[in-house]
Chains A and B, each alone.
Chain A
C-alpha cells in the first residue's frame, strides 16, 4: 500500500508524516509525531479524550483521517503551555485537583480553551453543554467545571 505524504502545522510548527489511508489524525499525532497528549479513550467519537482543534475548530481526532490533514493547522494540548509556564486552564485544573487518572484531561483542556476563545465568560450551563462530549470517569465533573470557571475569570482579568 502506497503511503500518503501529509504536510501541516502542529502547534505552530511545520511538520509532515507518511500515513496509511485508514490511519486517523490521532494515530498520526501519537505514532508519527510522538505527541501523546491526545488520548484514544474510545476511538468512536464518544469520549473527547482525543480532542484537538483543526483550523481553530474543535474536533475528535479519532474521527478524522490522517490523510485529510494536509495544509491544516492543528493545536494540541502540547501547545498550551508557554515553555515552563502553564496555561491558566492547566494551572486551575491542577490547583483545583480537577483530575485523577488524567486520561480525559488533555481533551478537556483543549476543549475548554476552544470554548473560552469564542466565549470568554460562559455560564455553568454553557460550559457543561460544551464539554458534554468530554467524558470523565473519575472526577464527577464538578471540579472540572469550577476550574474552567476560575481560569476564565483569571483570563478576563477578574481574579
Chain B
C-alpha cells in the first residue's frame, strides 16, 4: 500500500483515477482503518486530503455553512453558529462513536462509507444538504440524498472526491432534530433512526416537514408521507400518529442481531414522533 498526502484536489483526483488497484480517499480513517485491519479492504493507495486548503474549515456561505471534508464531529460540536442553525445535523454527527472517534470522524466519511445506519446522513438529507464533488470532469453539486446507493455503496465514481458539504440558510421559524434507537446509551450503531426538519408559518403551524429514516432500508430514505402528515398541524396527537404510521409504511427493514424487522418498523415511527417534537420546540413553539 502507498500513502500519499495530496498537494491539490486535482492531483488527488488524477492519482485516484490512475490507480489500477484499489484507491481510497482517507479522511478521519475511523471506517477505513477498521476495514483495513479486518482485511475487508486491502487498498493499494490511500490519498490523504486533510491537509488541503479549506478542508478543515466551517465557512459561512449564503446564510448557511460550508463544511470542509476534513472537519471532525468534535469541531462541528464546538461551532456555536452551526449548532444554532442546524442543531439536528450537529447532534447527529455528534452521535458518531466515542469522544476519541469524534476527534477524527467526518460527516463526509460517514456519507461515503455507505452504511445504512450512518447517523449524520438522515439529518443531512432532511436539511437539504448539498455535496460539492470534484471528479475527472470537474466540479459538480450533488444532493446528499442522491449519494447513498446501498450498504457500502454510493453513486460516486472511483476518482470522485467530496470537497465539502453545504448546509443552506433556513427561515427564522424552523428547527431540525435527529434521534436514534440503540440498546445502550452510548457507543452503538443505530437500530432505527429519524431526522425531522420543520418550518413553521406565522401562526406556528407546520408549513413544511421533511422526515428521513435511517437503518430501516438499504439506504437512508425520505418518508414523504410522514412529512405530509405533519403539514398544517401543531403536532397534535393525530398528526403524530399519522406521521409514525407513514414511517412504518415507508421503511423496508431487515432482521439482524440488533433488532427484528417488526421492531424496527415500529420504533422508527416513535423516533420520528419524538424528533418532530424536538424540532418543533427548536423552531420556537412550545407543545
Contacts and interface: CB of A to CB of B under 8 A. Distances in A.
A and B together in one complex: yes
The A interface is mostly helix, strand or loop, or mixed, namely mixed
Contacts of A54: 103
B29 interface: yes
A133 B99 contact: yes
Contacts, number: 82
Given A68-B48, A129-B186, A133-B97, A58 B103 contact: yes
B105 to A, nearest CB: 9
Interface of A: 4, 21-22, 24, 43-46, 48, 51, 54, 57-60, 62-65, 67-68, 70, 111, 114-115, 129-134
B98 interface: yes
Given A44-B37, A133-B97, A21 B3 contact: yes
A48 B29 contact: no
B257 interface: no
Nearest to A63: B33
29 contacts: A21-B1, A21-B3, A43-B37, A44-B34, A45-B30, A45-B33, A45-B34, A46-B187, A48-B100, A51-B100, A57-B103, A60-B98, A63-B30, A64-B29, A65-B29, A68-B3, A68-B29, A68-B48, A70-B5, A111-B99, A115-B99, A129-B99, A129-B186, A132-B99, A132-B187, A133-B97, A133-B98, A133-B101, A134-B98
Contacts of B97: 45, 133
Given A57-B72, A65-B3, A24 B33 contact: yes
A57 to B, nearest CB: 4
